[in-house]
Amino acid sequence: MAKEKETPVSNGGITQEQIAMWKNQHRKVSEISVIDEGEKHVGYFHRPSMETMSAVNKIGKTDEVKAANILFDNCWLGGSQTMKEDAVVKMAAIGKLNELMNISTAEIKNL
């Protein structure tokens, strides 16, 4: 039986201890992975602040790519440098990062 080739992972040398520190500081930390040409790039992000969401919504009306970069840059904690520098990898990560703004659900109850 042939051994499956493992996908190389680039996460910028981030350790579990670093992730634990980020979780302590930001409460929630998300890991986003993008596979590009056989290599897995991993980035770590915290939830956007109200200021970040406001800037994304304001800029997004005229320049969606710039708004996406604002979201990425303001939520980035660390990870693969390729994810920050390669436009294709970065845009794939941003696609998932946008989900952070819509992950929670709310209810209203008339009393």
pTM score, whole prediction: 0.85
Residue 53 domain flag: yes
CA distance 95 to 100: 10
For residue 5, tell me if it sits in a domain.
no
Residue 45 belongs to a domain: yes
CA–CA separation, 72 vs 94, rounded Å? Answer: 6
pLDDT for the residue numbered 7:
79
Cα separation values, 13 from 6, 23, 34, 44, 54, Å: 18, 17, 16, 12, 32
Question: pLDDT-based confidence at 100, cuts 50/70/90?
Answer: confident
Structural domain includes residue 111: no
Q: Do the domain assignments include residue 2?
A: no
pLDDT band at 64 (very low <50, low <70, confident <90, very high): very high
- State yes or no: pLDDT of 63 exceeds 90: yes
Q: Which residues contact 56 (CB under 8 A, 6 or more apart)?
A: 48, 67, 68, 70, 71, 101
Query: Where in the sequence is the domain holding 32, given as residue range(s)?
Result: 10-101
CATH number, domain of 88, equals: 3.30.2220.10
CB atoms under 10 Å from CB of 29, counted, come to 19
Q: For the chain, give the mean pLDDT.
A: 90
The answer to whether residue 82 sits within a structural domain is yes
- Tens-digit pLDDT profile for residues 79-98: 999 999 999 999 999 999 88
> Which tokens is 29 given?
């930390």
Q: Is the predicted pLDDT of residue 3 greater than 80, yes or no? A: no
Total structural domains within the chain: 1
pLDDT reading at 50 higher than 60: yes
Please indicate, yes or no, if residue 84 is contained in any of the structural domains. Answer: yes
For residue 61, the SS3 value is coil
